[in-house]
Structure 1
Amino acid sequence: MRRLVDIRPRRGARLLLGGLPILILLVVYLFASEMRHAANSADKVLPTFSAMGQAIQGFTTDRDPMTGRTTIVADTLASLYRLGLGLGIATVTALLLGLLLGVVPLARALLGPVIMVIAVIPPIAVLPILFIVLGLDEASKIALIAIGIGPFMTRDLAGFVAALPREQFAKAQTLGANSWQLALRVALPQLMPRLIEAVRLSIGPAWVFLIAAEAVASDVGLGYRIFLVRRYFAMDIILPYVAWISLLAIAADALLLLISRKGFAWAHGDGR
């Protein structure tokens, strides 16, 4: 008799098993929303799929007065621009600092405590400071994302580099490698898969900080739209927007995983 831990479903079975809970949730929601609307046709808490379909048709055809684009396109492009820049700044900063702190013990002793202190500060708490210093435009929103995820990524990457076998660095030094070459030739190639993994884990928190910033001070964006319509209890708009944000996050995660597996198959064991 096979043990439960030894059962490894094939790819098709994994897709089926993964989709089953989602299908069950959709069916449960369908029945719950229909029952609530049968009891109260004006119910807004659980909109029916037909009501959400009408809302989707609206925000995919209506034009945003600020940009002239359709509402969902304008919101998506604005949010992805802020998210992309924030993630990009955090990733580059974390990579450089992670290499520096991981390879150079003196730098780790000097900068490590500062990064640790910044990492434990709740990013939302510094949002008012960012608005005062950087204003209400794009800079403060992008800075919140970078500050929110950058220190954690830096600590993770620095710890990974510092934990690499010292023998690798010793052998490279015996061949004449300097500190710069140790970082680029020994640490960086092994760090890249870890960097991609750190970005994947940071996408969720980055969305949280983005939506928080857009909710406070913005005139376009996915987070702005959600908080704009919540005053009208427009769950028929909020739920599709939340689903769209989830799909964007899933797509970004899948793309990063694909890049990691194609570029660094050795880091995934079986290379799949």
Structure 2
Amino acid sequence: MFNMYWKPSPLQSALLSSALFLICIGAYLFVSHQRHQENPSDKIMPTVSKIADGVQRTAFETDRKGEYRLWIDTWASFKRFGISLGLMGFAILLGLYMGLFPVVEALFYRFMLFFDKVPALALLPILFIVFGLGEVSKVSLIVLGVFPTIALDTYLRAKAVPGEQLIKARTLGASNLGITFRVVLPQIMPDVLNTIRLNFKAMVLFLIAGESLAASVGLGYRIFVVRRYIAMDIIIPYVLWMSLLAFTADLLVRLWIKKGYAWHRAH
């Protein structure tokens, strides 16, 4: 099995992929059962039935405002995450231009390099003072947390494109924009997308931080509200739901790379 050239069968691959999930679920069920044997009112590790009840109350029953809390919170967090993700396009453009145009590199590179080392959470009080407690400050926190990283990664990948390709494209009559968007960008885009998806976790962390301090709705907000009551029957489903959404987003990006940049895998 421990051979570099060993190829698992589909069944073996499925079993290996499921093993750690099953171990974690089994361990939780065992410990939860033991705790409830000692204390039937234990809140720290609720049973499956209590977790299911928490899902029922948040997802399929209305609250005092007549709202389905899970879906309202999901939509609020999704909008903040989606807007922030859309703004990452500017990070890609900036990094691309820094890697290809010396003037842009001289103007932005050192600033991005420095700003990338500034802890985004340390800027949160400043964002709240400047932008208030609304949506702008929460989106700004996510953007400031990952924008420099994406820009610098794109910059390094653009710089790594062989200069011979640029010269050949120039001799064939390609313009600056042609070289930028038809020669360089298609080559580095799969790796840039991988970098973005690997930063999903950081984006979610900044989202939770913003929502936990100043929000009236959102997945992160709800977790920090119910923690006062040790409502693990709600916290656990919310955490699993957020993880599932992030995993789904990661999966969609991987499928995008696989289908849209099939040639990249060959390299």
TM-score range, shorter chain: over 0.9
Asked whether 1:233 is paired with 2:202, we answer: no
Structure 2 unmatched ranges of 5 or more:
none
Map 1:195-210; keep pairs closer than 5 Å.
195-210=192-207
Matched, 1:70 2:68: yes
Matched, 1:122 2:119: yes
Aligned-pair CA distance for 1:148: 0.7
Q: Give me the whole-angstrom Cα distance separating, in 1, the residues matched to 2:156 and 2:63.
A: 46
- In 2: Cα distance, 1:15 partner to 1:87 partner: 32
Q: Output the CA distance in 2 between the equivalents of 1:3 and 1:54.
A: 43
Q: Comparing 12-21 with 123-132, which one deviates more in the overlay?
A: 12-21
Please name the residue that 2:16 is paired with. Answer: 17
Q: 2:139 — aligned with what? A: 142
2:199 & 2:215 partners in 1: Cα distance? 23
1:132 to 123, 129, 134: 129
Map 1:1-272 → 2, pairs under 5 A: 4-64=3-63, 68-89=66-87, 91-269=88-266
Gaps of 5+ in 1: none
C-alpha displacement of 1:8: 2.2
1:23 partner letter: L
- What is the rounded CA distance, in whole Å, between the counterparts of 1:27 and 1:269 in structure 2? 39
Percent identity of equivalent pairs: 43
TM-score (norm 2): 0.96
CA distance in 2, matches of 1:43, 1:3: 43
Residue 92 to residue 64, structure 1, CA distance change in 2 (3 Å): farther
CA-based RMSD of the aligned residues comes to: 1.5
SS of 1:184's partner is: helix
Q: CA deviation at 1:177?
A: 2.6
Q: Normalising by the residue count of structure 1, what TM-score does the alignment of the two structures yield? A: 0.94
SS at match of 1:200: helix
Paired amino acid for 1:155: L
Q: Displacement of 1:255 after TM fit?
A: 0.7
Give the residue type in structure 1 aligned to 2:196.
V
Task: Indicate the SS of the match to 1:120.
Answer: coil
Q: Provide the rounded CA distance (Å) in 2 between the counterparts of 1:64 and 1:95.
A: 42
CA shift, 1:63, in A, is: 2.5
Q: Secondary structure at the match of 1:164?
A: coil
Cα contact 1:118–1:151 (8 A) shared by 2: yes
Could you tell me how far 1:64 is from its partner in structure 2? 4.9
SS at match of 1:5: coil
AA in 1 matched with 2:158: V
| In structure 2, C-alpha distance between the alignment counterparts of 1:65 and 1:103, rounded to whole Å | 56
Question: 1:64–1:194: structure 2 CA closer, same or farther, 3 Å change rule?
Answer: farther
Q: Quote how far apart the aligned CAs of 1:108 are.
A: 1.4
1:93 to partner: Cα distance = 1.2
Q: CA deviation at 1:16?
A: 2.0
Deviating beyond 3 angstroms after TM superposition, the runs of 4 or more aligned structure 1 residues are none
Cα shift at 1:14: 2.1
Deviation at 1:175, TM superposition (A): 2.1
Q: CA deviation at 1:3?
A: 5.5
Q: Give the secondary-structure state (helix, strand or coil) at the position aligned to 1:63.
A: coil
